Amino acid sequence: MPRVSIVIPAFNRLDYTRRCLESVEHLTYPNFETLLVDNGSADGTADSVRQEFPWVRVFRNEVNVGYAAGCNGGIRESRGDYILVLNNDTKVVDSHLLDVLVAAIEANPTVAGVDPRMVDYVNYGKVRMEGGPDAYGDHELTGSAPMFRREALDEVGLFDEFYFCFWEDRDLFARLKKSGWVLRHVPGVRVAHQSGATAPLGSPFAIYWDTRNFFIFMRRHATFRRFVVRVFPHWIHTTALLVYDNVKDNNWSVLREWLRGLRDGARAALSDRARAAPSFPRGPGGGLPSGGLGPTHGFGQDRAREPRDSWGERTDLEAPGVERLGAPRSGGPIPQQPIEFVLGPRAARGNAGEDEV
């Protein structure tokens, strides 16, 4: 039976993390591990989780290295054939979630990623995300609970840490599709999501990163036709509403971060260059090192070779590495033993990434 690794990044909000882990405890799938990556929380998340959920493998970054780097650190430490990246402000609604997702991805070797139906955090009957196209292109998967095939991530790389947070999920989905992989939405199981629990939507923080990374993503993945016909008109409309609402309410801090996002996004997009995506450390046979990651493989290890845009003397992207809290704990739902994988030929795939945004 394939092993599933559940990677949960967290930055504060211990209350949400507790509820997330309590829901994970009720999963019926017999072969999974859970890893929590604490991104420099100040509310004691790491220590509390170690005490209350001893079956969870806990890792801690000294500072907030960003959502993308936090996820990548957990993925590198994972041992599963499939990797479910779960936001800490989610709850598993259906206990057979992993059984259904694994069956869906196992049924087709060309499928790189699947995800469940996303519902409201309180009202499970209210659908929040069903998969499908939006103004920016195809959006089959949600970034809140995607499950990936390890082989696919080894081919195209992990989340690009240059994004820090926001748009890093769409970037990975686009790279997978351009490489010929297929993404599938699985509406038969549900995960509840409380959007913006960590970074409130409309906050200066969220506005800055969303604006900045929009330009980077479009520079990399938007076709000229789609950008002119669909993306730009929608962006103009939403931007005009954002500026109007915040001017009316005198939210000058939001407007300052929006302008800074415009500046830094344009600079980053214009200077963007092709480069190797963050990847797994390699063993002698092409798989995971038999001795584990070792001390030289810290979280966010690929950030040193990423381009930098201009936003001050020091940023979280340039923060130091990681402190590992402890060895994997016993008593979890699966035995703690490494698995190895070797890439091999697979069935021919069509060009699913054509005209991708």
| pLDDT tens by residue, 207-239 | 898 889 888 888 888 777 777 777 788 788 888
Alpha-carbon gap, residue 191 to 169, rounded angstroms: 17
On whether residue 351 sits in a domain, the answer given is no
328 within domain boundaries: no
Q: Is residue 95 part of a domain?
A: yes
Element (H, E) at 90: strand 90-92
Residues 81 and 14 both lie in one domain: yes
Q: Read out DSSP for 264-309?
A: HHHHHHHH----PPP-PPP-TTSS--TT-S-TT--TTGGGGGS---
- Quote the domain boundaries for residue 233: 204-270
Whether 275 and 234 share a structural domain: no
Q: What is the pLDDT of residue 52?
A: 95
List pLDDT tens digits, range 49-60.
999 999 999 999
pLDDT < 50 positions in the chain:
282-357
pLDDT at 278: 60
147 and 286 both lie in a single domain: yes
Residue with tokens 């995971």: 288
At which residue do the structure tokens 């010929």 appear?
180
Torsion sign across C-alpha atoms 339, 345, 349, 351: positive
Domain boundary among 226, 246, 270: 270
Tell me, yes or no, whether 291 and 169 share the same domain.
yes
* pLDDT at res. 279: 59
Q: Name the phi and psi angles at 137, rounded to 5.
A: 125, -165
β-sheet bridge partners, residue 190:
117
Same domain, 123 and 258: no
> Does 190 lie in the same domain as 153?
yes
User: In this structure, is residue 188 part of a structural domain?
Assistant: yes
Do 239 and 251 reside in the same domain of the chain? yes
Residue 160 and residue 294 share a domain: yes
Confidence (pLDDT) at 275 = 52
In a domain, 331, yes or no: no
Q: Both 112 and 230 in a single domain?
A: no
CATH number for position 141: 3.90.550.10
Domain count, the chain: 2
